[in-house]
Amino acid sequence: MDLPDLSAFDAARLLNEGQCSSVELTRACLERIERVEPRVRAFVTVLADQALDSARQADQARAQGKIASPLMGVPVAVKDNMCMRDAPTTCSSKILENFIPPYDATVVQRLTAAGMVVVGKTNLDEFAMGSSTENSGLFTTHNPWDLERAPGGSSGGSTAAVAAGEALLALGSDTGGSIRQPASLCGLVGLKPTYGRVSRYGLVAFASSLDQIGPITRTARDAALLMNVIGGHDPLDSTSWPEPAPNYCEGLDRGVRGLRIGVPKEYFIEGIDPEVEAAVRQAIEQFAALGAEAAEVSLPTMPYAIPTYYICATAEASSNLARYDGAHYGLRVEGADNIIDMFSRTRAQGFGAEVKRRIMLGTYALSAGFYDAYYMKGLKARTLFKRDFERAFEKCDVILGPTTPTPAFQLGEKVDDPIQMYLCDIFTTPANLAGNPALSIPCGFSAAGLPIGLQLIAPLFDEARLLQTAHAFEQATDYHKARANLAAD
């Protein structure tokens, strides 16, 4: 297996044993980027020189016996809505096309402190609003498993980069499924931590009460290693959980014997692809064979997840995106007659159609006479989602279901139908609304050879249980070992 196709854990082992250097590993990823990027288009910015400098520093530190972390010297990609000093942070939007932040996001600082090698910033749906990366204001990313299909979104660039071997790990952000949904469509592990577990300082806000940064990896062990780097309290984020994060690698091998797995009846609904349902039910049987106990639970508010999410998220987006007006930073349209004209023309030219749609929906939901009817009811509904999960977890330890209703869909298939696109996140949004940690792992393939994802949800701040459960499944199956044909090209 080529170096870029290794898991991060295996690559780190080679580095520690002296079988390869960080420079060799980084060069291998950069060569893969050069070869496949014209077809995949995962990166907005490739930081080749900076990455090689970081790799040399990692090799020098290792030679001196200074090991900053188990992932020191391992290449990682960062979604382009996380600020990085002296590198563009565009959010894949024309309104920020030339914006270079003066500081690093906390997660980027932690990657650097761990000695990891950032190879580039990845494409996304503009301001993380979308489920296919077709809403990027710059270009469309392609799924490495089938270049005619979407990689998912909004973290489609990060998932495509890892699936294609352009990086061994990546960071994404998840507001309504934007880590888990593309991880499912690209055959990867994607973890949305509990809200507050990972600092949002330096993450460009979409919906502040829903956004969460998390790892996109090839295995549960890789996700645990990356969570050990990025998790934990940050005084710069007022919503950061004040308690220290645990070591997520401890307990990975405990297995699932006696684990109570809840299967919500609402997750097997009309419209779910039969191949997805079959793969998930087969996964349930696999867990039973490993000693877990499956039982039906109910999440009765789940049918209201999409409308609740698109009220709360768009309302917060309309407020957060008001700052992009041409007066402070980013795009400014010249030749305006007055400041109001400049505001209007800058936003009209700088924002794409989906971002404009969500700003208008959110502004309407917050407007006088409609605030109580929409946004306030959305907030109350979120409380009901939280209670549903609390009741379900009285009967089980982990909730299991499909990550997405279908495998990867064709590019162009849903982009002109917002409702169909929004329904791609029907199984993922409840965890965001309630704040619970949730993870997607590969659990099978369609007849067309496309990955299918299994979603696991745990009680608040119990990411360790998710990773332990996912790791046990991986030890009994080979789905996580498969690689996209493009990556092997």
Write the pLDDT tens digit of every residue in 321-344: 999 988 888 899 888 889 999 999
Q: b vs e for 437-454, b when ≥16 Cβ sit within 10 Å of the residue's Cβ?
A: bbbbbbbbbbeeebbbbb
Two tokens, residue 330? 């980013």
Host H or E run for residue 78: strand 75-79
Residues 6+ apart with CB under 8 A from 245: 197, 227, 228, 231, 232, 233
Over its length of 489 residues, how does the chain's per-residue pLDDT go in tens digits?
Answer: 799 999 999 999 999 999 999 999 999 999 999 999 999 999 999 999 999 999 999 999 999 999 999 999 999 999 999 999 989 999 999 999 989 999 999 999 999 999 999 999 999 999 999 999 999 999 999 999 999 999 999 999 999 999 999 999 999 999 999 999 999 999 999 999 999 999 999 999 999 999 999 999 999 999 999 999 999 999 999 999 999 999 999 999 999 999 999 999 999 888 899 999 999 999 999 999 999 999 999 999 999 999 999 999 999 999 999 999 888 888 998 888 899 999 999 999 999 999 999 999 999 999 988 999 999 999 999 999 999 999 999 999 999 999 999 999 999 999 888 888 988 999 999 999 999 999 999 999 999 999 999 999 999 999 999 999 999 999 999 999 999 987 444
What are 143's strand-pairing partners?
146
Catalytic annotation on 94?
A: no
What are 452's strand-pairing partners?
444
Which pLDDT does position 314 carry in this prediction? 97
Instruction: Report the side by side order of strands in the sheet with 169-173.
Output: 43-46, 117-122, 75-79, 169-173, 213-217, 189-192, 438-445, 451-457, 398-402, 260-264, 293-297
Two tokens, residue 352? 């794409």
Which pLDDT does position 369 carry in this prediction? 87
Beta-carbon neighbour count of residue 238 at 10 Å?
A: 9
Single out the catalytic residue among 69, 136, 178, 240: 178
pTM: 0.97
Residues 6+ apart with CB under 8 A from 184: 152, 190, 403, 404, 440, 442, 451, 452, 453, 455
Single out the catalytic residue among 22, 54, 69, 79: 79
For β-strands 260-264 and 398-402, DSSP reports them as: parallel
Catalytic annotation on 367?
A: no
For β-strands 213-217 and 169-173, DSSP reports them as: antiparallel
For β-strands 189-192 and 43-46, DSSP reports them as: unpaired
Beta-carbon neighbour count of residue 412 at 10 Å?
A: 12
Beta-carbon neighbour count of residue 411 at 10 Å?
A: 20
Single out the catalytic residue among 7, 21, 136, 154: 154
Q: Per the omega criterion (within 30 degrees of 0), is the bond before 173 cis?
A: no
Output the CA angle 331-335-339, nearest 5 degrees: 70
Architecture of domain 3-259+395-488 in this structure: Alpha-Beta Complex (3.90)
Number of helices and strands in the chain (H, E): 16, 11
Terminal-residue alpha carbon distance, the chain? 12
Catalytic annotation on 79?
A: yes
Two tokens, residue 243? 């308690």
**Taking each helix axis from N to C terminus, what angle separates 22-40 and 8-17, rounded to the nearest 10 degrees?**
150
Q: How remote is the C-alpha of 238 from its chain's centroid?
A: 22
What are 77's strand-pairing partners?
120, 170
| DSSP letters for 222-286 | HHHHHHHHHBS--TT-TTS-SSPP--TTTTGGG--TT-EEEEEGGGS-TT--HHHHHHHHHHHHH
Burial of 417 from C-beta contacts in 10 A (0-12 / 13-18 / 19+): exposed
